[in-house]
Amino acid sequence: MKKYLLTFIAAILVSFSAMAFNNTLKEAYEILQTAKTADDYSRAEKKFRSASGDVGYDPATDDSLIKIGIEKCQRGRAATTERLTVNGKSSQVKVTFPREGGSRAVEIRSSHPTYDVLLTPSWIQYSKGTTSLSLMASANPDAEPRQAVMRVRSGNKEVAIQLFQAGEPTGIDIPAQAPPVNTGITITAVNFATGNDDNADASLTNYGAPLYSSDIRYLFTKVTYNGPSEAMEKTLDVKIFKPDGNLLNGNDRGYTFSSTRMFRPGTGNTVVLSGYGDGDHSIFPPGNYQMEIWENSNLVFTANLRFQRKAGEAEYLKVDGQEALNVEFPPAGGQQKFAVNTDAEDWTAWGVPTFCKVVNQTRTGFTIVCDPNDTGNYRRDYMSVRAGNKEIGYKEVRITIDQAPVQGTADLTEIMPFTNTEIAPGVVGVCIRNSIDALNLANRTITVAAKFYESDGTTPLLDAEGKPIVVAKDKTISSNGTHFSLTLDVPYDILNLPVTFHGTIVYDIEVTDEQGNILSQAKNSRLAF
C-alpha cells in the first residue's frame, strides 16, 4: 500500500512538472510523499485545503487532486495515531445503573470516524453518537444484581464496558440482598450521614438526610443487621465506586476503607462504620455512587447513594483551563476569546477595567475587547469571572490584563530662526520657532531642546562654566492628534561668543519624551554672525 501511494504521488508530481500551475498543490503532494507522522499528514492536509486559493488554481484539474490528497492525509494520520478511549480509559470502564433502570452516556474518543458496539446484553439498548454512546438499561425485576460486559471496537482497538445494575431499590434505607455465604450476620439496611471528623460520633442525627457534595467531610455508614449467636468482632471491607465506575481511592487490599466493629446477637442492631473522607475538603463530587460491603472476600451488601449539588452552587470554574491567568493586549488594543468551564448554572464578569469590555458572553465563553492604550503609560488591571453563590459554593478566576502604551510620535515639520530679536527689555537674541505634529501623546510632556556647536557641527559650544550650551522648553500635549509651535528664546549672551565674533555656529533641535527617548531630530541648522 505504501509503495502504491508513493508511486501515485510521484506520478502526480511528474504531471505537475509538465504544467505551469498550482504551486500550493504541488507543495502539498511533496509533503505527503515524505509524511511519516500525524503532524506531517496534518501539515499536508492544511496545504491541500489552501490550494484553492493559489493563483494557479484551476478547478477543472485541481479539485479532484485536492480531494484525493485530503483523503490520503486523513487515512495516513489515522494509521499513525490509532487510539480508542471510553470515558478516558483505554482498556475498561465501569458503568452502573439503579434497579429501576435509566440511561448513562459515555464519551467515545477514537482516531477512526466510526466505532462498533459488541456483545450487548438483552437488558441494555444503546444509541450511537459521533463522540458519545448512550446506554439505556431496563428495570431489574430480580432481587439479585446483574452484570455484563459489552465492548466498543474501533479500528484495531477495543475497550470493555463493565455493566452493573443493582437488584435492590435506590434510597436511604436499602433492604439486603441474600448474602452469597453465611457470615454470621445479615445486613438489612444502611443509612448515611456526614460529620466533620473521622470519629464515629454517636451524636450524629442526620442519617437519611440529603447528602450535599460541598458540605461533606466524612461519610458515616450506619449498618442495621441481624447479629450472630454470640458477640464477635468482625472486619467489614468497603468499596465505593465513583460515578464514572472507578474505585474511590483504595487501600493496599483493594478496598476504599475497612472498619473493625463488635457485632452483637439479636435483630435490628446497628453499628456505625469508620468515617471516610478528608477533613479539609470534600472528596465526593456530585453524582451517583455505589457502595459494596465485603467480609472475608465475600460480597455481603450493595447500596446506592447520591451526592447532590446545591442549587446555585459551583463546584468548579476554569477559564481557558486555568484557575487564574494573565493576558497581554497589544498597545493598539484588540480582542481575545476565552472559554469558560463550570458546573454552575451561570457566571458573571466582575470588575471589568474601564478600558475594556466583555462581549459575546455565553455559558461557555466570552470575548474581552480592549481600547488602544494612548495614556503614555504601561497599565495593568484585573477582572474576575465568578460562578455560584458566595454563601454556599462560590468559585472565582482572576484575569490580570497588561497593556503597553501606544508609541507616540512628534515630528518636526518646520524650524524657523528669527535673529536679532528683542527677547526681553534690553535682551537681544535669536528666537527659534519649532512647528511640531504630535500623535498619541495626550497628557504627556515632551521636551524641545536646541543644542549648539561650533561651525564643524560636532564640537559643542561651551558656556562660561565650560558646560555645553543647551536651551530647552517643556510642553504638555493636550490631545492625541495636534499641531503646535514652540519657540525657544536664546539670548546672544548665553552663547558665550566673543564680542568681535564673525562666523557661523550650528544647532540641532531634539524632541524627547519623559524617558528621554528621541521622538524627532533635526541636525545642522546654521546661524551666521
Predicted TM-score (pTM) of this structure: 0.40
> pLDDT confidence of 141, banded at 50, 70, 90?
confident
Strands (E) in 202-286, as ranges, are 211-212, 218-226, 232-241, 257-263, 269-272, 276-277
Dihedral class, residue 155 (left if φ above 0, else alpha if ψ from -120 to 50, else beta): left
Report residue 262: phi and psi, to 5°. -90, 125
Grid cell of 141 as nine digits? 425485576
pLDDT for res 447: 95
Evaluate if residue 280 carries a pLDDT over 80: no
* C-alpha separations of 74 from 36, 41, 61, 67, 152 in Å: 13, 7, 21, 11, 22
pLDDT for res 204: 63
Evaluate if residue 17 carries a pLDDT over 50: no
- Are the CB atoms for 245 and 239 separated by under 8 Å? no
Dist. CA 244–CA 163, nearest whole Å = 12
The three-state secondary structure class of 325 is strand
Mean pLDDT for the stretch of residues 90-99: 83
Q: Who wins on pLDDT, 354 or 407?
A: 354
Domains 186-307 and 409-528 are alike in CATH topology: yes
Report residue 319: phi and psi, to 5°. -120, 120
- Are the CB atoms for 339 and 320 separated by under 8 Å? yes
Q: Who wins on pLDDT, 496 or 167?
A: 496
Mean pLDDT for the stretch of residues 331-349: 91
> pLDDT confidence of 177, banded at 50, 70, 90?
very low
What residues pair up with 509 in beta bridges, in sequence order? 450, 522
> pLDDT confidence of 198, banded at 50, 70, 90?
low
Q: How many residues does the chain have?
A: 529
> pLDDT confidence of 173, banded at 50, 70, 90?
very low
Evaluate if residue 341 carries a pLDDT over 50: yes
Query: What CATH number should be reported for the domain whose range is 186-307?
Result: 2.60.40
What Rg, from alpha-carbon coordinates, does the chain have? 40
Evaluate if residue 170 carries a pLDDT over 80: no
395-424 pLDDT per residue, tens: 899 999 999 888 888 899 999 999 899 988
Mean pLDDT for the stretch of residues 263-274: 90
Report residue 47: phi and psi, to 5°. -65, -45
Evaluate if residue 452 carries a pLDDT over 90: yes
215-231 pLDDT per residue, tens: 778 888 899 999 888 88
pLDDT for res 62: 84
Question: Going by CATH, does the domain composed of 409-528 fall within 2.60.40.10?
Answer: yes
Q: How many C-beta neighbours within 10 Å does residue 83 have?
A: 13
pLDDT for res 171: 40
> pLDDT confidence of 180, banded at 50, 70, 90?
very low
Least confident residue range of 205-214, 256-265, 377-386, 464-473? 205-214
> pLDDT confidence of 508, banded at 50, 70, 90?
very high
**What fold characterizes domain 317-403?**
Immunoglobulin-like (2.60.40)
Grid cell of 122 as nine digits? 438483552
Q: Who wins on pLDDT, 126 or 283?
A: 126
Least confident residue range of 195-204, 216-225, 245-254, 266-275? 195-204
pLDDT for res 178: 43
Mean pLDDT for the stretch of residues 517-521: 90
pLDDT for res 94: 85
Beta pairing, strands 365-370 & 334-342 = antiparallel
> pLDDT confidence of 490, banded at 50, 70, 90?
very high
- Are the CB atoms for 490 and 484 separated by under 8 Å? no
Report residue 291: phi and psi, to 5°. -115, 135
* Domain boundaries, given as residue ranges, for the chain: 20-80, 84-165, 186-307, 317-403, 409-528
Least confident residue range of 180-189, 196-205, 338-347? 196-205
Mean pLDDT for the stretch of residues 332-347: 90
The three-state secondary structure class of 75 is helix
Could you give the percent of the chain with pLDDT greater than 70?
A: 89
429-451 pLDDT per residue, tens: 999 999 999 888 888 888 999 99
So what's the architecture of 84-165 in CATH? Sandwich (2.60)
Dist. CA 341–CA 352, nearest whole Å = 19
Could you give the percent of the chain with pLDDT greater than 90?
A: 29
